[in-house]
Structures are given as structure tokens and as C-alpha cells.
Amino acid sequence: MCSKQKECTLKSENAVCVVTGGVGGLGRAICDYFLERKARVIVADRDAEALQNLPDSFCCEAVDVCDPVRVKAMVQKIVKEQGRIDILVNCAGTIVSAPFVNVFSPDQMMFPYERFRQEMAINLDSVFIVTAAVVEEMVRRRTPGCIINISSICAHGNAGQTSYAAAKAGVNAMTVTWAKELGRMGIRCNAVAPGFIGTPSTHAALQDAHLKHIVENTPLRRLGDAKEVAQAVYALVENDFCNGVILDVNGGLTL
């Protein structure tokens, strides 16, 4: 399997790479970075309008990654058209912030359970759903592969982010579990855990004062750049002996 494994890395041109959430701030940077390195990039996102505005160099799939039936159909279609999937980047997600207890809202003081379930679905269940569909194809076809999950610094726990933190901690746990379970089949699984990256989603989720505080506590004294996350994803794909790594990309904020 090891000799074959090299075929799935970006060292070989035309690696088939699926990026979920690929039209978002980080996802697009990852797609661009892989395309520049001659991968065949399939952008899977629920934002059909944004997909239509992508350059023709990308293949596009409009899909809700929380829908197991549609995800499975999409994966089978990609394999039929491209021959295989070498790399999966699970990047679809939603950054959400709300306190567990809101004393200013006595009628709805606690974080609603329905909302917790929804946010777990997009940030955790989706990673399971897409990876299961892709790995099934890899195993059935006996092709090696590489899975990269986009986690977050919040996996360590973060005030005001109960569901998001829980989901990302779950993503880290699945990453290590799959690394242990799938390694013998030539499938590696790693994660990138970004800190605070200067994307529109970060600015929408956090107030400027909070971001200023974060920058002041980051040894590098700045937010990260989406391209720096893409570089980390690429590094994990390229290195054939990285497996089960959760790679922090946070400017040293956790030190």
C-alpha cells in the first residue's frame, strides 16, 4: 500500500481533491492552493449561487453535507467521473457563538437544545457523513487516500461556544480514531486546527473588541491568513508519514 500511497499525494499531479465548504473563506483558499498545485479540485458546498460564480477550472457540486443520501450520491458521481477520490478536506461548517446561560433572556435563558443539535449536525455529523461516503469508495476500490478535517482552536473549549467547541472536539476525536483504524488500509487522517483567521466568518461571529483582545494575546500579534491554513492542509497531505496529527495554526495563541 505504501508505494501506492504516494499516488494519492499532491506530489502527483491530477490528484482528485474534494473540498467541502469550498466557497467559504478558508475553503476557497484551500481550493485555490490545491488548484495551483495541479490537483483536480471538486468544490462541494450548499451555496449554489456562489458555486456558479467560481472559475471553470473547478468542478462544482451543490450539496448539503448533512444529508447522507445526497452526499453518497455525490461521492459516487465524482468517483464515476474522476475515477477515484484521493483527498478529502472537510471544511464545511458554521462558526457560532451564544452563551449557554443568558440571564438577560429569562423566557429562553438556556441555549436551546434544537439549536445545539443543528450546530452539531453541520460541524460534527457532516464530517462523519462525508468521510464515511468517501472512505467506503476508497476501501471498496482499494485506493489509498488522505482525509483532512478542519477543526478549531475552540476544540479546547471556549466560553460562549458550547455546540461549536463540542463539535470540534468531536472532530479531533474522530480524526485520531480514523487515523488508528484506517492507517492499515493506506488511508491517512489528520486535522488542521486554525486559531482566529481574518475571514468574514470570524468578523461576523466575534465583536471587534474581542478580536482586538485575541490579537493582543497572540504572540505574533495578528490574525491568521486563510492561505496559511491552506498551506497547513497541503503540508499534511504532502507528508506521507503524518497520521492522526491535529496541526495548530494559531500564531501561538495557545502557548
**Residues involved in catalysis:** 164
List the grid coordinates of 195: 486559531
Q: Which of 7, 64, 137, 228 binds ligand NAD (CB under 6 A)?
A: 64
* Least CB distance to ligand NAD at residue 48 (A): 10
Determine which residue in the list 196, 233, 243, 245 makes contact with ligand NAD, applying CB under 6 A: 196
For residue 122, the minimal CB distance to ligand NAD (Å) is: 5
Q: Which residue in 89, 134, 150, 155 binds ligand NAD (CB under 6 A)?
A: 150
| Minimum gap (Å) between residue 185 Cβ and ligand NAD | 26
Q: How many CB atoms are closer than 10 A to CB 50? A: 16
Q: With helix as H, strand as E and coil as C, how does 166-225 read?
A: HHHHHHHHHHHHHHHHHHHHCEEEEEEEECCECCHHHHHHCCHHHHHHHHHCCCCCCCEC
**Cβ atoms of 75 and 85 closer than 8 Å:** yes
Q: Report the alpha-carbon angle 230-232-235, nearest 5.
A: 110
Q: Applying CB under 6 A, which part among 78-86, 87-95, 109-117, 234-242 lies near ligand NAD?
A: 87-95
Is 245 a residue that touches ligand NAD (CB under 6 A)?
A: no
Q: Is 144 in the site for ligand NAD (CB under 6 A)?
A: no
The CA-atom distances, in angstroms, between 2 and each of 39, 97, 212, 241 are 20, 43, 46, 10
Under the rule (CB under 6 A), what is the footprint of ligand NAD?
A: 21, 23-27, 45-47, 64-66, 91-95, 122, 126, 150, 152, 194, 196-197, 199, 201-202
